Amino acid sequence: QKEVEQNSGPLSVPEGAIASLNCTYSDRGSQSFFWYRQYSGKSPELIMSIYSNGDKEDGRFTAQLNKASQYVSLLIRDSQPSDSATYLCAVNGGGNQFYFGTGTSLTVIP
């Protein structure tokens, strides 16, 4: 069973702070990593993908990947109340099977 683990939270940060979301995965052969944002009652929305070790930045979002430690993280800088959502980590180990974590709930306090 391939596992993707996330802290369920809830994680609360004040507006303007950095939110740090973490994810670990069990399949060492995993190749592709994704972060999705899901608002309550809505579908997951892709916000970041990362394929190689290191950092990838897109606006206020930075994804970090460390394959040796089997760890992927998402940093949200200058957090806004509109960032309040559940963040899902997803891992693809090859082929087209994706494994999702249960998500981390983030609340940004104005």
Binding site for another protein (CB under 8 A): 4, 32, 34, 36, 42-46, 49, 88, 90, 92, 96-103
Nearer to another protein, 41 or 110 (CB): 41
61-66 β-sheet, strand order: 4-6, 19-25, 71-76, 61-66, 54-58
Pairwise CA distance, residues 65 & 50, whole Å:
7
Residue 47 · residue 35 · CB < 8 Å: yes
We find the least distance from the C-beta atom of residue 16 to another protein, in angstroms, to be 30
We find the least distance from the C-beta atom of residue 37 to another protein, in angstroms, to be 11
Nearer to another protein, 34 or 64 (CB): 34
Any idea how long the chain is? Answer: 110
Report the sign of the C-alpha dihedral through residues 56, 65, 12, 3, in that order: positive
Nearer to another protein, 19 or 90 (CB): 90
Nearer to another protein, 61 or 100 (CB): 100
